[in-house]
Amino acid sequence: MNKINITISLFLVELMIIIIKIKRKRKTMSFNECSNIFSSYEESLSIENKFFHYVFTKISRNQKNRFIEKGENSIDIIPLYEEPLRVIPIFKEMDKDNLSLENEISIATKMIEEGNMKCIYFVYPKNKNFNKHIQVKVSSLEKACSEYMIKIIPYSLKDLYKKGQINGNCNILCK
C-alpha cells in the first residue's frame, strides 16, 4: 500500500468513529459538519476527492454479484443480471427547495444519449435540506429514450454502518 492509500484508510476509520458519535446524538449532519470532517484530514487531497474516495470505499466494500469500476470522476456499478449504473459523487450543499442541476442534467443527458449508461446517480452529502432521492425527468430523453434514470441522491455519512457492519436497509449504492 502506498502512503495515500494508508492515509485514506486511516481517515475512513477515524471518520466512522466520528460518524458513530454523531449518529448517537441526532439523525442528520449539517453540510458544514460534513465539510469540517472531510477537510480535517489529509491536506493533499481536495474535499471533493475525499468525498469521492469515501463513496467509492462504501460502494466497493461488497462486490457480491456485481463489479465496481472506478473512473476519474465516477463509479460504475455493473451488476451481473441488471443494467449498469454510474454514480457521480459531488461534494456540494444541496437544498431540495432550491436545486441548481443544469450542469448535472447536461452531463447525464450526454452520457445517456451517447449510450454509455442508462442510469446516472448524482450523489451529494445528506443534510437537513436534502434527505430524499429525487428522480429527474428530461423532456428530450423522454422522447428519445424510454428507459433511463437520473437520480439525485443524498448520501448519508453516518447510517451505513450498524455496529461496524453494513446496514441492510441502505440503498443500492452500498448493497
79-95 tens-digit pLDDT:
888 889 999 999 888 88
- Higher-scoring residue by pLDDT: 134, 47: 134
5-20 tens-digit pLDDT:
556 666 666 666 666 5
32 vs 62: CA distance, rounded Å? 29
Contact 136, 150 (CB under 8 A): yes
What is the CB neighbour count within 10 angstroms for residue 147?
9
Long-range contacts of residues 99-102, Cβ cutoff 8 Å, at least 24 apart:
99/134, 99/152, 101/136, 101/152
104-127 tens-digit pLDDT:
889 898 888 888 788 999 999 888
What secondary structure letter does DSSP report for 105? H
What does the block give as the cell for 130? 436534502
Provide the mean pLDDT of the chain: 75
